[in-house]
Chain A
Amino acid sequence: MAANMKAKQVSHTQTDAGGATVDPEEWLHMYRQMYRIRSFEEEVNDLYTKALMPGLAHLYIGEEAVAVGVCESLKREDYITSTHRGHGHCLAKGASPDRMFAELLGRAPGYCKGKGGSMHIADQEGGNLGANAIVGAGSGIATGAAFSARMRKSGQVAVTFFGEGALGQGLLYEVMNMASLWKLPVVYVCENNLYNEYTHYSQTTAGELSARPAAFGIPVEVVDGQNVRAVYETARRFIERARNGEGPGFVICNTYRYHGHHVGDINRAYYRSKEEETLWKTERDPLNLLSQWLTEQHLADAAIFEQIEKEAREEMRSAVEFAIKAPFPDASEVTQHVYA
């Protein structure tokens, strides 16, 4: 188990972003973004367990550094595709929590008018082409968006987030092949949180993860997905490379989901131990790791973090209030938008 905790060393670079030159304000901004995601998800957990949220809720808690480190390297007009575990990506790409909560509760002012819900939340204006309830499907759409960006000479880059479970899907290999052949501006971000639903990835994934993109000639790096500075540094390099026409990249972020596969997945002992969960939460928490580093560097102190956290919690509370008070869509909405 201890071996699972470490970013698996492969024959590729293990990134350490210790020396990255970033304005301290920027790191604090990333702390804020990660905390906003955590706070958002805690509200989701609360809404769900109080039976106020319909459907399923797959929480991103524990994985915040991945979405934030990557999205901070993107421009607003760049694209992302997301997954069933997509609230973090959506927020990190700039969506506003009030309309997100409204979507999760199936209300009219939601990003998708309540028609998509948690697993299909999208923010077209913010470049989020959508969460997806088909594992791996976002990789195809992102590669298509990259293809389009190239054809339109727009300078945009596309990033696709997916869990390591998506490595089982053939689609990913078809599009990686084409992305590499055609040097498309797309970055594949694999969030390896160790489990495909209730099965450890070692039981479903043969060989080295990083050997797969490497087979297509796509540069790959494995990073500590709990260290937002490391994620940011690697993502930025890959994204700039893609933007400069040098082709796709692949980042494997080693991370962990603190909660169940979805909120209802309470009894997890048959597939992972309590000790493993505790170890990640206490030793590898992305918020703690960043705040510790910032404190050590004398770039921030406890009062600053408390302030950020308080503001984020207040923001999320009022976003929830907004959503709860929002109306459900009108019945006439049901037949709208089947066709353009």
Chain B
Amino acid sequence: MSMLKTSESTAGATNGKAMRELTMAQAVREALAEEMRRDARVFIMGEDVAEAGTPFKVLLGLVDEFGTDRVIDTPISEPGFAAIGVGAAMTGMRPVIDIMFGDFLTLTMDQMVNQAAKARYMSGGKFMVPIVFRTTLGATRRSAAQHSQSLHVWPSHVPGLKVVLPSTPYDAKGLLKTAIRDDNPVVYFEDKMNFTTKGMVPDEEYTIPFGVADIKRAGADITLVATSSMVYVALGAADKLKEIGISAEVVDPRTTFPLDKQTLVDSARKTSRAIVIDEGYERYGVTAELAAVIADGAFYYLDAPVKRMGAMDVPIPFSPALEDLTAPTADAVFQMAKTLCGRA
């Protein structure tokens, strides 16, 4: 997967501010540390989160500052500690629950879907569940079928849940801080291939509101809507397209719910062509929803059908020879864009 540095966010929030380069993992860790300093109700719970700092070492050092009362190692009991998180959130705490691999959402689904997502509504607005589930997505790490899935569409489907898909260190930090402050259950996905991806992050404190898409690269001829690490795939494709005179706009929704429909539609109206790229399965996936939003909102402006590129609809195979076929690549997006622009 491409480790391109993104162009600085065009959101404008960072203009003229002092910045430094951080990895995705450092940005996540900083957001957690800042929120834990700011709010004594915030705690982290999960498997090997304390001394080990998770297998990806994302949380390294947090236990030194906050102690084992707030950075809590659990048994390998995902439904149990997810449930403890929900109960704690309903009674005044702000848990950040660490689910080591996104594939283990299968084990926590009852807590997310039947409990956390519905408590507010079922109680007629009496309860709130300010919990964050931090987990991963993303293939091509040779982790095979049970450690490689991108299942972020599942929580995106459920009313009551919010879903965050950061692609850059800047977004990761600002969005995680917002997630922790949000009074609702939020599921926050990090691409496990991107923990070492670098980007500029302001020294000064900031947050990023949910439901605001970010234009990662401005362009005129085609819109590439991309989520999470697929932003880098889209940027790679945009570089190649530029070489043949096609100007691509890369739009990152950043949250699948709430969704910034307007920015997606405006971009597609401007360019008149769109491809949606996401690493979840293509069928019934995030790409289907986003493509429908564009098709609906930009219908009269489109010169071509909206195209979707997701993971191949197969369990992720182990063999590198097969796994690499399953995820969208910059080359495949380039080819598709060329075709849509009538340059095949």
Contact = CB atoms under 8 A, between A and B. Distances in A.
Interface in B283-319: 312-315, 317-319
- Candidate in A116, A118, A271 with the most chain B CB atoms within 10 angstroms: A116
Contact of B318 (A116, A198, A335): A116
Contacts of A116: 144-145, 318
A205 interface: yes
A132 B313 CA distance: 21
Interface stretch (A165-173, A221-229, A296-304): A165-173
B16 interface: no
Nearest to A163: B76
Contacts of B48: 196-199
Contacts of A203: 73
Contacts of B317: 114-115, 333-334
Given A116-B318, A133-B147, A168 B75 contact: yes
Contact of A117 (B74, B77, B79, B142): B142
B146 interface: yes
B73 A120 contact: no
B327 to A, nearest CB: 11
A169 B106 CA distance: 13
B52 A271 contact: yes
Contacts of A55: 141-144, 318
B47 interface: yes
Contacts of B47: 196-197, 199
A114 B317 CA distance: 8
Contacts of B107: 134
B335 interface: no
A154 interface: no
Given A133-B146, A199-B48, A338 B313 contact: yes
B322 A333 contact: yes
A106 B74 contact: no
A120 to B, nearest CB: 6
Contacts of A329: 319, 321-322
Q: Taking chain A's interface residues, is the majority helix, strand, or loop, or is none over half, making it mixed?
A: loop
Interface string A198-229: 11000111000000000000000000000000
A135 interface: yes
Contacts of B74: 168, 204
B67 interface: no
B55 A197 contact: yes
- Candidate in A55, A116, A196, A205 with the most chain B CB atoms within 10 angstroms: A55
Interface string B98-113: 0000011001000000
B318 A120 contact: yes
A169 B76 CA distance: 6
Interface in B107-152: 107, 141-147
A134 B55 contact: no
A115 B147 contact: no
A115 B325 CA distance: 13
Interface in B253-298: none
A328 interface: yes
A54 interface: yes
B326 interface: yes
Interface string A83-124: 000000000000000000000001100001111111110000
Contact of A166 (B76, B141, B144): B76
B182 interface: no
Contacts of A334: 312, 314, 317, 322, 325-326
Nearest to B326: A334
Nearest to A264: B55
Interface in A129-148: 132-136
B92 interface: no
B52 A168 contact: no
Contacts of B320: 54, 106, 328
Given A168-B75, A170-B77, A197 B321 contact: no
Given A170-B77, A271-B52, A56 B143 contact: yes
Contact of A196 (B75, B141, B321, B325): B75
Contact of B321 (A106, A270, A271, A335): A106
B80 interface: yes
Contacts of B79: 170
A331 interface: yes
Nearest to B315: A338
B51 interface: yes
A196 B318 CA distance: 24
A226 to B, nearest CB: 24
B56 to A, nearest CB: 11
Given A168-B77, A197-B47, A120 B313 contact: no
Contacts of B313: 338
B75 A335 contact: no
Contact of A120 (B144, B312, B314, B321): B144
Interface in B42-82: 47-48, 51-52, 55, 73-77, 79-80
Given A55-B143, A199-B73, A334-B325, A134 B51 contact: no
- Candidate in B48, B80, B314, B317 with the most chain A CB atoms within 10 angstroms: B317
Nearest to A137: B146
Contacts of B146: 119-120, 132-134
A109 to B, nearest CB: 12
A124 B76 CA distance: 28
Given A198-B52, A338-B314, A205 B322 contact: no
Nearest to A119: B144
Contacts of A133: 103, 144-147
A107 B73 CA distance: 38
Given A119-B318, A271-B51, 17 more contacts: A55-B141, A106-B142, A106-B320, A115-B318, A117-B142, A118-B144, A119-B144, A120-B144, A135-B76, A165-B76, A168-B75, A198-B48, A199-B73, A204-B73, A205-B75, A329-B319, A333-B317
16 contacts: A54-B318, A55-B141, A114-B317, A114-B318, A114-B319, A115-B315, A115-B319, A117-B142, A117-B319, A119-B318, A134-B107, A135-B76, A328-B320, A331-B321, A334-B325, A338-B313
9 closest A-B pairs by CB: A117-B318, A106-B319, A168-B75, A114-B319, A328-B321, A54-B142, A55-B142, A204-B75, A168-B76
